[in-house]
Amino acid sequence: MNLKNVAAEMRTALLTVPNLRVPTWGDGGAIGTKGLALIGWPDRVELTATYVRGKARVADWPIYLLATGQNRGAHDLIAALIGDTAPASANLALEAGAYTACDFVHVAYAEIDPAARYQGSPVIAAVLHVDVNGPGK
């Protein structure tokens, strides 16, 4: 399992969400009127999840969802991004993605920081914590 390929497929899944800009993994960029999704680095990759390196597992891969400002529009945007209604929900989009670089993507939970800062500006941030399982070797 190559993290770059998994990140690319997660980006493709996130791009189906309206009002969300998703740079290629490793790129940044300013937040516009849309929300910004940044795919981070996972804490840990289990390279030998089964015998003979048959499976690999990525635990707790963070995806940062950012909305600029501390206003009502930013509140609404973040709430929709971690909500239960497609196509505005980033977690539903991620889990509905078509994956060939891994077996499945599971959004375990969302963590919210209402007073975060990005590039010097106040933002509301939600962090999706994602588990990925896929082939080893």
Partner 1 sequence: MATAHGKLTKIQITAKDISPFTKNSQLERAASTHDTTGYAPTGDAKLFAGGTREAKFTCSGVYDNTVSVGPRLVLVGNEGTSMAIIRNVEGIGTGKPNEAFNAILEKYVETNPHDDMVTWSADFQVTGPITVTALP
Q: Does 72 bind partner 1 (CB under 8 A)?
A: no
Peptide bond into 23 cis (omega under 30): no
> Would you say 81 and 74 are in contact if contact means Cβ atoms under 8 Å apart?
no
The footprint of partner 1 on this chain (CB under 8 A) covers a number of residues equal to: 14
> Would you say 38 and 63 are in contact if contact means Cβ atoms under 8 Å apart?
yes
Q: What type of residue sits at position 3? A: L
> Would you say 69 and 77 are in contact if contact means Cβ atoms under 8 Å apart?
no
Q: Does 51 bind partner 1 (CB under 8 A)?
A: yes
Nearer to partner 1 by Cβ, of 4 and 106: the residue is 106
Q: Would you call 108 helix, strand, or coil by DSSP?
A: strand
Nearer to partner 1 by Cβ, of 44 and 106: the residue is 106
Q: Does 50 bind partner 1 (CB under 8 A)?
A: yes
- Comparing CA positions, the residue from 62, 43, 31 lying closest to residue 124 is 31
Instruction: Candidates 45, 49, 79, 116: give the one binding partner 1 (CB under 8 A).
Output: 49
Q: Does 121 bind partner 1 (CB under 8 A)?
A: no
Q: Residues 9-48 vs partner 1: string with x where CB under 8 A? A: ---------------------------------------x
Nearer to partner 1 by Cβ, of 66 and 132: the residue is 132
Q: What angle do CA 79, 8, 57 make, to 5 degrees?
A: 85
Q: Does 106 bind partner 1 (CB under 8 A)?
A: yes
Binding stretches for partner 1 (CB under 8 A): 48-55, 103, 106, 108, 131, 133, 136
